[in-house]
Each structure stands twice: as C-alpha cells, then as structure tokens.
Structure 1
Amino acid sequence: MSIHNHCRQAAAACCFMLLASGPAMAQSDSRQSSAPDLAAKSMENANKRVEAAIPVVHELQADTRMQPLLQQAKGMLIIPSYGRAALGIGAQGGGGLLLVRRPDGNWSGPAFYNLGGLTLGLQAGAEGGPIVMVLNNDKAVNAVMKKNNFSLNAAAGLTVVNWRKMAQGTVGIGDVVAWSATKGLFGDVVAVGLSDIRFNQHLTDAFYGRTLSPKDFATGNIDDPRAAPLQQALSEASAMSK
C-alpha cells in the first residue's frame, strides 16, 4: 500500500470517529448545560413559594379568632395556593412550606413539601386558595419531622379540625387545625385532612445550597436570609399580645 493511500485511509477513519462521537459529545454538553438551568429554575420556584406564603400569614393574622391558636402553635404547614384544578379526592394539591417554632418563640426556615389530596370534606365546585395546617402540639410536629412522606388526618393518628366549624372556646382541641381563606373549601364536616405530603428534596436543597432532611429542621436551626421576611411575618402573627 502506498504512503498516499495509507494517509487517505487514516484520515477517513479519523473523520468517521469524529462523526460517530459527535452525538455523544453533544448529548454530554447538553446535560452539562441543562444542570445549571435546572438549578436556577428550582431556586426561582423555591423563592416564589416563600414569597407567596407571606400574604397568607398576613391573612391569618387578620383573623382575630386565630390569635390564640397562633400563639400556641408548634409548627405551621403553609400552602400558598391549593389549585382549583387539583381540588378532588386524591388529586395533587400543589406545594407547601413547613416551619417549626423555636423555644424562643421565633420560627425556623421553611422546608419544602409537595401536597397530595384533601382526604375529607372537599366541597364540590369550591375554588382553590391558601390553606394552613396549624400544628398545635409536639405530637403533630413529631409526626411530620420523622418522615419524608406523611399525612395529616385521622388515619395518621392525628385529630385534624376544620377551623370554620370550630365553636368559640374550643381552640386547640385538635392536634392540627386546618384553616383556609376560601369559605367552604372543606365542606361542612368538622374533621378534615391532607394526605400524601412529600418532602421536596430538590427544592429544599436548591434553596439552601446543601442537602437537608426533615430531621434537620426539627431543631429549628435552619436559616437563610431569603426566608427572613416570612419568618418575621410569622413571628409577628404568633406573638403573645401585650
């Protein structure tokens, strides 16, 4: 074989290898470039959820009957918007934030959760809106913090009371009190609940820039400056009246 033929064959083989590796290299570059985009999107979603929870806290604070309940609360699951399209038994309800109260009366940074369906009391045709599940005691907080997936209902051994159906003077009779700004969302029953509440590892890690578990939030020592306005609003809403 002549030197020229050998060179032509070598060049052809080299071109073939480059063409063959092209898609794999492009796929690798695509994966590498999409990772920062995904992280940025997760961070944006987490920030929006925290910001959306602040006006919900203000609504809670404006409800005068809520004051004694907020003052004794041990934890709070805030769902800024339980979507109308998700209102159905077993339907997915959107996203929530869980905060626990510290011994000094202030609140921890939020852990991120995805919400399942309302288990009881859903009123057909009701529009969505904010929901807050107030955790009244350590029993309720412990049930939440020990698991990545939990339910707030009777099946989980918790008494969950519909706030709008509570009589005056019965504040705190349940382990959890369900509050909604949407009248009639829970229907006419006294006992309600949420099921299939799952820890959102991806959003939580994206917001704090590190890997955390529900147990990490149990101490109340998790913080981030971006959550400070929400924590402050909740501290003011739950402060003892002077």
Structure 2
Amino acid sequence: MKGEHMFIQRKTQAAALAWVIAMSMCGAAVGQSGSGQGAQSGRRDQSGQSDDLGAKPAQRAEQRVSDALAVVRQLEAEPRMKQLLRQAKGVLIVPSYGRAALGVGAHGGAGLLLLKQADGGWSGPVFYDIGGLTVGLQAGAEGGPLALVLNNDKAVNELMKKNNVALSADAGITVLNWSKLAQGTAGTGDVVAWSGTKGLFGDVVAVGVNDIRFNQSLTHAYYGRTLSPREIAAGTVSNPQAEPLQQALGQASTTAR
C-alpha cells in the first residue's frame, strides 16, 4: 500500500510539473504573439507617416503653399526682383530643389505656379513636379529654393500644356540666370531663374528646366475637384489657405523700394 501511495504521489507531481511547463510555454507563446503584434503595430506606426502622406495629398499641397510663402519673402527682399515681378506674367516657385536630380527623369522638386491676373492680383496655385536642370548645380553647390519668373505669354503657354513640358532653349524658351541678370550682363529673356542658393546655376548665362509635370492629384485635393491649369489660371477657383501667398506676391509685384 505504501509503495502504491508513493507511486500515485509521484504520478501526481509529474502531472503537476507537466501542467506548469505547459502553462509556461503557453505564456511564452502569448508573449511572443503580443510582441509580434506590437512589432507589427510599430511597423504600421513607422510607415503610417508615409501612408498618411499618400492618403492626405491636401495636407501636402497646403504645406507646399506655406513653404512657397517663405520663398516669396526672399524675392521681395531683392529690389531688382521686385521690378521683374511687377512686369511678370507668372512665377513658378519650387520651395526646395534637390541636387540629386541630375539624371534623366530624376525628380528634382515640387513646385507651384501662380499667374498674374488682369487686375494685378494672382491666381491660385497650380501644382507641378520638377525634373532636372539642364545646366547648373556646380560642384559644391547644394540644392535650395528656386523661382522661375515668367516674363511673357510664350513662357506661360508652355506651362499651360498639361504634362512633360520644359522651360529651356530646346523648347524655344530663353531662361536666364538671375545672378547674371543682376550683374547686367543679360537681357530679360522669356524666363528669369532665381535661386536662393549661391552658385546653384554656376556661371552660365542661360539655364533650363526639363520634365515639368502637372500634378493632378495635389491640384484636385487642394481645390476639391478636377481642374486644368488653365481653369485655375483664369482665377475662377480659390482656396482661402493660399491667400497669404497671393497677397505676398501682390505686395512684391506692386510695391517699389
């Protein structure tokens, strides 16, 4: 009887130990599953920012307009640039152009176009993506803000084409380097290219920008409906968020120093 009792006791202890081991393994599995879910959640959080950017183009468009306002403030600080803006038909603003965009088809930056109205005011922004500079970004120069001042209807009409246009000699458009123009070595041309980064265009007189593409997605998100560049340029649509930028351009193009 005593031996039988010891056998039963050992069997009970073994069963209890097996139960403890099983529960430990189950807890570890749950912990791993939880940590895996946490990791997945973390990955979602890490990628959520880019997902949000893709899902919320209106916010990206609004940020681009806000960034362009700072560029206009820089333009306004240059008296001769203010003279150009008074005579200009429009301006294509690129808040940040990257020097990595030297290859064919490279994406250089994101810009927006505003055109002057008959009453001297400025249209709402039309969104564009900018390709590569045909000349510029000399060794040691970093990218930065750009502004392309459109001096005549020929330059404006080139940009009114919906996709893959160019402001360059190949397109029959003369684009002059602002730094050279400021030194009085060139005329006004069709377009004057200004850069907020010293040395970006080097010492050349004429430059060019290729692969300029109308961004329908951002434009649609910004105005809430599908519009062509010409419809926006006509001044028939608006977004209140763009008013500070339009007003700053108005001030820069009507006030002399």
TM-score range for the pair, normalised by the shorter chain length: 0.7 to 0.9
Aligned partner of 1:241 in structure 2 is 256
Alpha-carbon RMSD across the aligned residues, in angstroms, is: 2.0
**Which runs of 5 or more structure 1 residues have no equivalent in the other structure?**
1-35
SS in 1 for 2:134: strand
Whether the 8 Å contact between 1:81 and 1:131 is mirrored in structure 2 is yes
Aligned partner of 2:169 in structure 1 is 154
- Match runs of 1:1-242 below 5 Å: 40-86=55-101, 88-90=102-104, 91-166=106-181, 168=183, 173-241=188-256
TM-score by length of 2: 0.75
SS in 1 for 2:56: helix
Whether the 8 Å contact between 1:81 and 1:129 is mirrored in structure 2 is yes
Aligned-residue offset at 1:151: 0.5
- Residue identity matched to 1:115: I
Structure 1 stretches of 4+ moved >4 Å: 36-40, 167-172
Q: 1:81 to 1:234 in 2, by over 3 A?
A: same
Q: Which has the larger radius of gyration?
A: 2
Whether the 8 Å contact between 1:136 and 1:172 is mirrored in structure 2 is no
Larger deviation, residues 219-228 vs 55-64: 219-228
- Residue identity matched to 1:57: V
Aligned partner of 1:15 in structure 2 is none
- Residue identity matched to 1:203: L
Whether the 8 Å contact between 1:152 and 1:193 is mirrored in structure 2 is yes
Larger deviation, residues 98-107 vs 218-227: 218-227
CA distance in 2, matches of 1:167, 1:229: 28
Percentage of pairs with the same residue: 65
Whether the 8 Å contact between 1:148 and 1:214 is mirrored in structure 2 is no
Matched residues, number: 206
CA distance in 2, matches of 1:48, 1:73: 25
Aligned partner of 1:7 in structure 2 is none
CA distance in 1, matches of 2:245, 2:228: 20
- Residue identity matched to 2:89: K
Larger deviation, residues 147-156 vs 215-224: 215-224
Larger deviation, residues 105-114 vs 36-45: 36-45
Aligned-residue offset at 1:223: 1.2
CA distance in 2, matches of 1:170, 1:61: 22
